[in-house]
């Protein structure tokens, strides 16, 4: 079975409820999926409501975002397929490239419909994009980028430009802002500062462990990992992430960026991965700015890391850890917070 026949056959297989044939068609399409046909198969997956294939297409597009978005294959995308791409949160390219792709797609649609016409006007491009325009995340662009693409054109209205500029300056949403403000992220990775984990008691409870860190590149912090408990029931811990002024000698808290009471389960085997605490929304970590993670345990029984590395590197991002002034026992080379989950900022 070739991928082209599978794409047509899967529709019939679903319509007449032949699950084994659906599975075989899906397998065939998955195996044939590559950068050159990802847009076409994404279209097909949306047309037949094939979620697994759709997710795999979007994953491949995300992994090869620059090649796909700057190639010619994108021009063949249906409106539905382009919408799925524009809505994706894991596109590791600058929003400027996504904007340029959407505009080129609209121009291609217009020129295909009206051959021989001059370049489409801004109003025609806006009309061709329709609601797709509001999938573009203008507020995450650099101010200079946004100024360059909006100067001298009418793709956005004056009110829309004003609302984006207001957000870029204040980081506050204007009542008229219609564009998403969440940054797209790359693939999540993590760094482990832990060399060894051991059994120990935090006493007296409650016990505060904290670590301060700084990175050499902008990232998005997506979660932290805490060591599992040794008690039968596990343990409760208040987790907080703080941002600070740049001056390391006189840390003044800027804001509490995340705070939550979480339950850490019991450790079953000797060597267990840390318990991941996912953040509700990724936290933007600015290179050179100081942040801290605090873990306030409500029991005097837990595991903790020792012989941790004060400097860790992952995916060309360097984390440097410092002892937190409020941490009761542990320096930067030990403690209860052995893992950081993050994505590179785009």
DSSP H helices, the chain, are 3-15, 19-32, 38-47, 51-63, 65-70, 79-87, 95-113, 122-129, 143-150, 158-170
Residue 65, token pair as written in the block: 């975002």
Residue 298, token pair as written in the block: 């409500």
CA nearest to 35, candidates 50, 12, 3, 57: 57
pTM: 0.68
Residue 139, token pair as written in the block: 């507020």
What pLDDT is stored for residue 95 in this prediction?
95
Q: Domains in the chain, ordered, with CATH?
A: 3-170 (no CATH), 193-344 (2.60.120.820)
pLDDT, block means (10 residues), the chain with 346 residues: 66 76 84 90 89 92 92 95 94 92 95 75 95 97 94 94 95 90 85 65 68 91 84 79 67 78 73 80 88 84 63 91 76 69 83
For residues 76 and 105, give the distance between their C-alpha atoms in angstroms, rounded to a whole number: 8
How does DSSP classify residue 232? T
What pLDDT is stored for residue 334 in this prediction?
56
What pLDDT is stored for residue 248 in this prediction?
47
């Amino acid at each position: 079975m070739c991928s082209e026949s599978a794409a047509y056959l899967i529709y019939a297989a679903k319509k007449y409820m032949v699950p084994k044939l659906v599975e075989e068609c899906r397998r065939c399409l998955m195996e044939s999926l590559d950068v050159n046909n990802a847009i076409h198969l994404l279209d097909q997956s949306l047309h037949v409501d094939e979620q697994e294939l759709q997710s795999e297409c979007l994953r491949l597009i995300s992994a090869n975002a620059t090649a796909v978005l700057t190639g010619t294959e994108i021009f063949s995308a249906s409106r539905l397929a382009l919408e799925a791409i524009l809505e994706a949160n894991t596109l590791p390219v600058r929003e400027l490239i996504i904007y340029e792709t959407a505009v080129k797609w609209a121009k291609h649609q217009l020129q295909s419909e009206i051959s021989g016409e001059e370049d489409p006007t801004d109003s025609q491009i806006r009309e061709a994009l329709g609601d797709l325009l509001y999938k573009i995340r203008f507020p995450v662009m650099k101010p200079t980028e946004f100024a360059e693409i909006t100067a001298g054109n009418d793709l956005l209205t004056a009110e829309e430009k004003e609302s984006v500029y207001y957000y870029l300056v204040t980081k506050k949403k204007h009542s008229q802002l219609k564009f998403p403000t969440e940054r797209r992220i790359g693939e999540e990775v993590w760094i482990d500062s832990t060399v060894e984990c051991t059994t120990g008691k935090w006493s007296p409870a409650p016990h505060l462990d904290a670590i301060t860190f700084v990175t050499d590149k902008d990232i998005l912090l997506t979660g932290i990992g805490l060591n599992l408990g040794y008690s039968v029931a596990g343990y409760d811990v208040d987790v907080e992430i703080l941002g600070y002024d740049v001056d390391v000698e006189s840390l003044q808290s800027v804001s509490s960026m995340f705070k939550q009471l979480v339950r850490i389960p019991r450790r079953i085997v000797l060597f267990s991965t840390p318990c991941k605490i996912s953040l509700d929304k990724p936290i933007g970590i600015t290179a050179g700015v100081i942040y801290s993670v605090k873990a306030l345990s409500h029991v005097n029984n837990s595991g903790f890391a020792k012989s941790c590395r004060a400097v860790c590197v992952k995916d060309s991002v360097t984390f440097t850890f410092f002892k937190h002034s409020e941490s009761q026992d542990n320096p930067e080379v030990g403690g209860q917070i052995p893992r950081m989950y993050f994505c590179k900022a785009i």
